[in-house]
Amino acid sequence: MSKYNFLDAIDRGEIVKFLQGQWPYKIESPNYVAGIEPDYIRQVLKEAVYGAYEIDLTVRSKFEQAIIQMLDGDAYGVYIGAMYGMLQKINELDEKSPFKIDEDIMPQIRRKLIRNQESFRMGISGCDGYYNSDPWGDIQKYNDECHFKYGFEVI
């Protein structure tokens, strides 16, 4: 995963596939991490999204559109889109992001998370056999972190 792979995915119209780790953008996580987890998302943000932004300033708007597109998908897409949105917001507040996403995205994330709460409680499946038995627990954990450390809530 690199900024150049990300720019190539944008050119191919496959930014969501890249962000979700779908083929041909297979997730290369450590053996003990199955699928897309928050540490992987942080790595994608740092190495691919922010690196690509240094080359092409339109990456910010394309990244925002990809989040919105994921939020309009199935429960897996909503989960991954929400995690990108939350971790991006945290990076902004920690001054680790070279850009800020549109503030209107966070209320969209909130609505989609609440709308999919029941699906999250039952577990979700994604690409490459990824299964998360408690995505709602992950969401609550990050919501608590956002609330106590940064002063905003997602749900």
- pLDDT tens for the chain, 155 residues long, are 688 899 999 999 999 999 988 888 876 555 444 445 667 889 899 999 999 999 999 999 999 999 999 999 999 999 999 999 999 999 999 999 999 999 999 999 999 999 999 999 999 987 767 788 889 998 998 899 899 999 989 99
Degrees to nearest 5, angle at CA 92 with 83 and 96: 100
Neighbours of 36 (CB within 10 A): 25
Cα 136 from Cα 121, distance rounded (Å) = 6
Domains (ranges, CATH) in the chain? 3-150 (1.25.40.520)
Degrees to nearest 5, angle at CA 37 with 36 and 39: 120
Q: What pLDDT was estimated at residue 38?
A: 67
Q: What pLDDT was estimated at residue 27?
A: 61
112, amino acid identity: K
